[in-house]
Every structure is written in C-alpha cells, then in structure tokens.
C-alpha cells in the first residue's frame, strides 16, 4: 500500500486486514511504514515488490513509471487518482499485469452509479453530483488536488468546449440536503464514462457548506488562487453524497459519513478484485457493480445508504 499511513491509505490497510488479507503500509517514513519505499528512488520500490500480488497507490504520486514498474514485476496496480491527464496516461500503457482505475468515491462510486442509470436509460445524458464534507480533515494530497483545480480548465468530454473548474453551476435536489447549486469540476469519471457509455456525462461538485462552495466558485476567477494557503479548515461536516441523474429523471445515489473511510472501503474492494483481472487497463464500472459495494459501504462505520428513483 503506497501511502499506507495517510488519511485514505491507512483505512485501506485496515479494511484489508479486517477481511483477513495481508496488507503492508509502504512509504518514506520509517516510523510509520511497514515497508520503506521512496518513489523518488526506484530501487526501493523494486525491492519491495517481491512476493506482492497487488499494489494500491494512495500516496498521491502520479507517475506512470510507477505503474510500469509494479506491473512489470507481475503485480496488479490499483490507483485512487481522480486526475484526468494521469488517468489518460495510464490508459496508454500496455501493462503486463492488470491496472485498475476509478476506485474511490469520484471516480469510482460515481462510475457505478452512472452505469446503473445508463443500464436503465441507455440513451439519456447523465449528470453526476458529488457533495463532500468541508469539515472532514483530508490528506495533504487530496486537499492540494482540490486547490489545484482553481482557475484551471478542461475540455468537456462530450462537446470539446473549454470549461473552467467551479463554474457552470447546475441545480440539484440532493437527498437530505435539498436544493443545491453544484459546479463543474475536472474529475476523470466524466471523461471515461462519456467514452465508455456513449452518452454525455458531466460531473458537478460542491461542499456541504454552501458558503465554502460559493467561495470556490468565486476564487476560481481570481488569478493565482490555486496557490492560496493550504492549511485553511473550512466550516462543514463529514457527510458525503454521490448521485447520478439521467436527464429523464432516473436517479441513483449513495451517501454516508466520512469520505476517507468510504474511499478506503471502495479501494479495498477494488484491490481484492484486481488480482483476478487479465493484463491491461480496467475501470471499476467494468469490474464491479453497485450491488457489489452497497452492502460493504453500509457496514459498520460507513453509515451509507443507497436509494433509486425515477420521475414519471
């Protein structure tokens, strides 16, 4: 487990060990790591791969060479990344062992929700809504990732139109939250799903604090906002919600408390599945279904609940 003692990585290790799997936390800190691995020193990674079946990358390091080294040694590689460019780079690999992507809340759970909507309404465009708790203390890598989106843009996967992160707000009625305005954000799920499902998929993001969400929408237009101080702790709770909504009203959603805990549960399920996959690059919606995760996410500590609806 690369980054196995971070906010998400420690949860993945605990989840795997709780299910009887042997899981080792790897990282640079010898006081916290079971295995010392410094990704800046490829020799330390190579030495750690002996006898390993699956490597999960929760360290925030986004280097395709790491995936190549892992799969070249015969181990499966699982990455919790949400970064579009890095996902595209991994998809261009021809690995000798399986690579499994889209294994967190978004991408990951959002992929499974969208796939369910698509299965029932195959011709409708899909909007993904992701709401995260502003009050949960996340790891440095995930916080930096959210800040780095400020002021940056991406190409809409369906139209090719340039979109600035945290703009183009859309109104959603979210279970337990009521009407909320969420904003476009460059999560990789929408790019992969638009290609794989053959319909337009767009991801919208917000925080449980309306004020914090509005602040992101304002800051994204401020030059240099992505370099703002990272130590700020925004007001809010730890509740998260992921929803996929077809334009015909078909909706699937799952919500709970503790984003890091939920991400760990999903990534652990992906790690268990990865070892049995053929060589090549895979995404979670081609490997597991929403039903495979619903019971696990609803277990002790996850406090998750799933609902489906369809307007007439």
Categorize the per-residue pLDDT at 312 as very low, low, confident or very high, splitting at 50, 70 and 90. very low
Do residue 130 and residue 93 come from a single domain? no
Do residue 54 and residue 157 come from a single domain? no
Do residue 230 and residue 119 come from a single domain? yes
Strands 26-27 and 35-36: parallel
Cα gap 64→86, rounded to integer Å: 8
Categorize the per-residue pLDDT at 281 as very low, low, confident or very high, splitting at 50, 70 and 90. very high
pLDDT of residue 109: 96
Do residue 66 and residue 25 come from a single domain? yes
pLDDT of residue 212: 87
Cα gap 187→222, rounded to integer Å: 21
Which CATH number do you get for residue 178? 3.30.360
**When comparing pLDDT for 298 and 158, which is higher?**
158
Cα gap 81→222, rounded to integer Å: 26
Contacting residues for 153 by C-beta, under 8 A, at least 6 apart: 162, 163, 164, 165, 186
Do residue 168 and residue 246 come from a single domain? yes
Judged against a pLDDT cut of 70, whether residue 300 lies above it is answered with no
Q: Averaged over 155-168, what is the pLDDT?
A: 97
Which CATH number do you get for residue 284? 3.40.50.720
pLDDT of residue 148: 86
Q: Averaged over 285-304, what is the pLDDT?
A: 70
Domain count, the chain: 2
pLDDT of residue 233: 56
Do residue 131 and residue 226 come from a single domain? yes
Judged against a pLDDT cut of 70, whether residue 230 lies above it is answered with no
What average pLDDT does the structure give for the chain? 89
Q: Averaged over 259-281, what is the pLDDT?
A: 95
pLDDT of residue 304: 43
Cα gap 73→21, rounded to integer Å: 20
pLDDT digits (tens, 9 = 90+) for 40-74: 888 999 999 999 999 999 998 999 999 999 999 99
Is the residue at 72 inside a domain?
yes
Is the residue at 1 inside a domain?
no
Is the residue at 17 inside a domain?
yes
Judged against a pLDDT cut of 80, whether residue 243 lies above it is answered with yes
Range of the domain at 22: 9-104+263-291
pLDDT of residue 223: 82
């Amino acid at each position: 487990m690369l980054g196995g003692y971070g906010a998400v990585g420690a949860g993945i290790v605990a989840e795997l060990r709780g299910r009887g799997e042997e899981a080792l936390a790897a990282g640079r800190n010898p006081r916290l790591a079971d295995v010392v691995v410094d990704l800046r020193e490829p020799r330390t990674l190579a030495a750690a791969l002996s006898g390993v079946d699956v490597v999960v990358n929760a360290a925030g390091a986004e280097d395709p060479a790491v995936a190549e080294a892992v799969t070249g040694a015969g181990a499966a590689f699982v990455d919790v990344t949400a970064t579009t460019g890095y996902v595209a780079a991994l998809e261009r690999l021809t690995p000798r062992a399986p690579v499994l992507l889209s294994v967190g809340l978004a991408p990951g759970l959002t992929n499974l929700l969208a796939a369910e909507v698509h299965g029932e309404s195959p011709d409708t465009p899909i909007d993904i809504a992701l709401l995260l708790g502003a009050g949960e203390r996340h790891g440095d890598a995930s916080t930096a990732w959210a800040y780095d989106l400020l002021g940056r843009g991406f190409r809409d996967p369906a139209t090719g139109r340039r979109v600035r992160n945290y703009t183009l707000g859309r109104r959603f009625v979210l279970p337990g939250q009521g009407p909320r305005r969420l904003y476009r954000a460059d999560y990789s799920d929408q790019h992969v799903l638009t290609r794989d499902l053959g319909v337009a998929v767009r991801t919208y993001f917000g925080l449980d604090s309306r004020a914090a969400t509005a602040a992101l929408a304002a800051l994204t237009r401020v030059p240099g906002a992505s370099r703002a101080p990272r130590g700020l702790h925004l007001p809010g709770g730890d509740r998260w919600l992921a929803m996929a909504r077809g334009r015909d009203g078909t909706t699937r959603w799952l919500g709970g408390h503790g984003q890091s805990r939920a991400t760990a549960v999903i990534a652990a399920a992906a790690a268990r599945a990865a070892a049995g996959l053929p060589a090549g690059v895979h995404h979670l919606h081609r490997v597991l279904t929403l039903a495979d995760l619903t019971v696990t996410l609803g277990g002790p500590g996850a406090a998750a609940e799933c609902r489906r609806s369809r307007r007439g």
